[in-house]
């Protein structure tokens, strides 16, 4: 439960139709097994105490009485279980029969939730036996001294974890045009559980998965779907046990069909609450009409089994990654295209260093010019060798420009920078920040003045990771007339260039791009050592894959440092020691807060993903905001913390 995680389990027990005593024993055994694995929310299929496929046997009082008896047995036998449990059973009330879910917590039946939408078609005839459930709760006496609320509009809220608020719907409810879960989420529920008995026909599993996953995304919730399986009658249909646990559009766990699987994963209710805070269109409504049932789980550190991607900005599968890369390149190019159309410019000026960022910016500019039907020769690509330029990066820059048929201009900045040192009294032998930044500002001055000469726009090359860290020279590479890479993180820049290399037909261009990819990231502002790059960015500020990981979870979900550290240790286990992760996490927070003033005056640039640092939209952060409370939390962290 620490950091907002709660472990959920969905079951597909092998039952016997119309044998509640046997089924209850199976349910109790599975509850106890799941409790040993740390599950705090347990969901069983629809009508699982009797079996869903009882047909007209549901009209038999003997079956109904036995189902109720076994419900109390399940409650009694799990009184020591630290979990909230949902099981399905038929229940008679005021002469009508209801398909219900019972919520059980430590021996107590908290409430009963009836099904709203009853199918009445070729495979299922629920309307033959059951009555549509009521919204407003009514008191139902299950036995002498035990009266519980029954109605759809109930939310079960955890006192020890207030963001965990659970509501219920049953099978067909989620397939309806207006599912009850919409109302539940707007009333405040962060987790929806669904007790289901969905039959299996060809292709239905794909639709079911998309439906459940889509509902979790639409409602910004966790969704636990438990489906009936083997043991139900196969007289006319077959049940596969296709249970699913989803969270805000991501499937966390999915059962293999026809195997009576139990699935489990951890739902991040803190993440869901953070996402709802960000969405102005998610308006809570109707909570006052609900019955709020309280329970309290024992606080504990939930062991994480869910996958934590070490590259959250980059899709893992090649097909998805290629699609994403193509889309991003098109967004970047279309943004730049519009800026040229609006200004009437037909020329671009761009500085090319032979590094990743400027390479990507040139590729984007070429694509934009193709969209505008402007020849590449109208792109003035400038290489500006300085004190730290190596032969490798210089050669790659020149060859890249020529291979793309852009205009090439070379201006060596060493003489002008040396003169500038003389003007300001800087000792050229002192390789300090002035030594470095003077070169960056000289290059930017050249680009701006060349743009004035030829009526062009200066294209910015800096990426989002550099902006997050403040790893940019103010009024140097920090400035441009349109920054095409401003919302592209460094880890994604690499994949965009790789995608371009793999997709291009020009083998010479491909070779150049691959060598650029193989070159260490460096601003090349310090003299080389034996002809090799001496200044490697990641040795100074830390690995970009770590910083991009930190950036994603800080800005996308507002996670606190302790939670980010925990996830990073899990994602990068075996790649970095805990001490190294913690070191660079401290660096990130320190630089992120101290360097906001550079981000507060960024040039325009296209947003390509859900995380961006533009001061006009995604990060309206005061330049003088204190990072003390975050840094204090980081200082309290220690590497040996458990996952």
Outline where DSSP puts E strands in 126-164.
138-143, 146-150, 154-158
Catalytic-residue membership of 46: yes
Q: How far apart are CA 424 and CA 444, in angstroms?
A: 18
Residue 532 DSSP class: B
The dihedral region occupied by 466, where left means phi > 0, alpha psi between -120 and 50, and beta the remainder, is: alpha
Catalytic-residue membership of 325: no
Catalytic-residue membership of 275: no
Q: How far apart are CA 316 and CA 160, in angstroms?
A: 36
Name the catalytic one among 46, 169, 232, 436.
46
End-to-end CA distance of the chain: 12
Please say whether the beta carbons of 555 and 611 come within 8 A: yes
The count of C-alpha atoms lying within 13 angstroms of the C-alpha of 103, restricted to the half-sphere facing its C-beta, is 31
Phi/psi at 100 (5° precision)? -125, 160
Radius of gyration (Cα) for the chain, nearest Å?
30
For the beta carbon of residue 538, count every other beta carbon within 10 angstroms.
16
Strands 291-295 and 154-158, how do they pair? parallel
- Of 556, 551, 581, which Cα lies nearest the Cα of 566? 581
- Sign (positive/negative) of CA torsion 448, 450, 451, 455? positive
Please name the residues in contact with 317: beta carbons below 8 A apart, sequence gap of 6 or more: none
Please say whether the beta carbons of 229 and 258 come within 8 A: yes
Phi/psi at 439 (5° precision)? -70, -45
For residue 125, what are the β-bridge partners? 120
Tokens coding 611:
């995380």
Name the catalytic one among 54, 137, 158, 171.
171
Please list the active-site residues. 46, 115, 171
């Amino acid at each position: 439960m620490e950091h907002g995680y709660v472990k959920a389990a969905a079951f597909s027990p092998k039952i016997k139709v119309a044998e509640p005593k046997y089924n209850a024993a199976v349910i109790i055994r599975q509850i106890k097994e799941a409790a040993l694995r740390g599950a705090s929310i347990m969901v069983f299929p629809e009508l699982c105490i009797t079996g869903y496929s009882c047909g007209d046997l549901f009209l038999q009082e003997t079956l109904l009485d036995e189902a109720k008896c076994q419900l109390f047995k399940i409650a009694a036998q799990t009184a020591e279980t630290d979990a909230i449990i949902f099981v399905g059973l038929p229940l008679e009330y005021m002469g009508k029969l209801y398909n219900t879910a019972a919520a059980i917590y430590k021996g107590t039946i908290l409430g009963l939730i009836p099904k709203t939408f009853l199918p009445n078609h070729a495979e299922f005839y629920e309307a033959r036996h059951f009555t549509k459930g009521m919204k407003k709760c009514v008191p139902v006496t299950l036995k002498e001294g035990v009266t519980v609320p029954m109605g759809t509009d109930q939310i079960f809220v955890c006192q020890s974890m207030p963001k965990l608020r659970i509501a219920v719907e049953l099978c067909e409810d989620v397939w309806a045009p207006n599912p009850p879960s919409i109302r539940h989420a707007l009333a405040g529920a962060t987790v929806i559980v669904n007790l289901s008995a969905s039959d299996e026909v060809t292709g239905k599993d794909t639709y079911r998965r998309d439906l459940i996953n889509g509902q979790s995304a639409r409602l910004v919730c966790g969704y636990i779907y438990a489906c009936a399986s083997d043991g139900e009658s196969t007289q006319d249909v077959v049940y596969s046990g296709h249970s699913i646990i989803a969270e805000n559009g991501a499937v966390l766990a999915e059962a293999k069909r026809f195997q009576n699987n139990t699935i489990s994963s951890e739902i991040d209710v803190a993440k869901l609450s953070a996402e709802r805070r960000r969405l102005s269109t998610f308006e809570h409504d109707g909570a006052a009409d609900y019955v709020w049932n309280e329970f309290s789980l024992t606080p504990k550190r939930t062991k994480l089994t869910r996958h934590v991607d070490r590259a959250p900005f980059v899709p893992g599968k090649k097909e998805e990654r290629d699609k994403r890369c193509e889309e991003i390149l098109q967004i970047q190019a279309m943004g730049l295209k519009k800026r040229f159309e609006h200004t009437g410019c037909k020329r671009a000026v761009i500085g090319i260093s032979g590094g990743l960022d400027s390479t990507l910016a040139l590729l984007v500019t070429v694509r934009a010019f193709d969209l505008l039907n402007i020849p590449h020769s109208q792109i003035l690509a400038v290489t500006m060798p300085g004190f730290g330029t190596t032969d490798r990066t210089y050669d790659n820059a020149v060859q890249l420009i020529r291979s793309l048929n852009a205009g090439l201009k070379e201006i060596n900045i060493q003489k002008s920078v040396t003169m500038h040192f003389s003007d300001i009294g800087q000792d050229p032998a002192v390789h300090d920040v002035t030594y470095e930044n003077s070169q960056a500002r000289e290059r930017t001055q050249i680009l701006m003045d060349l743009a004035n000469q030829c009526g062009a726009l200066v294209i910015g090359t800096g990426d989002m990771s550099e902006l997050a860290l403040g790893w940019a020279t103010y009024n140097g590479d920090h400035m441009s007339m349109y920054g095409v890479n401003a919302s592209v993180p460094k880890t994604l820049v690499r994949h965009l260039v790789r995608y371009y290399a793999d997709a291009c037909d020009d083998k010479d261009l491909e070779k150049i791009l691959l060598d650029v990819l193989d070159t260490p990231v460096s601003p090349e502002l310090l003299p080389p050592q034996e002809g090799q790059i001496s200044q490697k960015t990641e040795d100074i500020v830390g690995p970009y894959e770590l910083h991009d990981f930190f950036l994603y979870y800080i800005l996308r979900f507002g996670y606190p440092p302790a939670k980010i550290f925990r996830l990073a240790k899990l994602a990068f286990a075996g790649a970095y020691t805990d001490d190294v992760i913690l070191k660079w996490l401290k660096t990130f927070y320190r630089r992120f807060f101290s360097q906001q003033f550079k981000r507060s005056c960024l040039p325009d640039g296209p947003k390509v993903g859900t995380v961006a640092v533009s001061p006009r939209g995604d990060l309206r952060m005061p330049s003088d905001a204190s990072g003390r409370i975050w840094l204090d939390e980081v200082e309290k962290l220690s590497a040996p913390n458990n996952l």
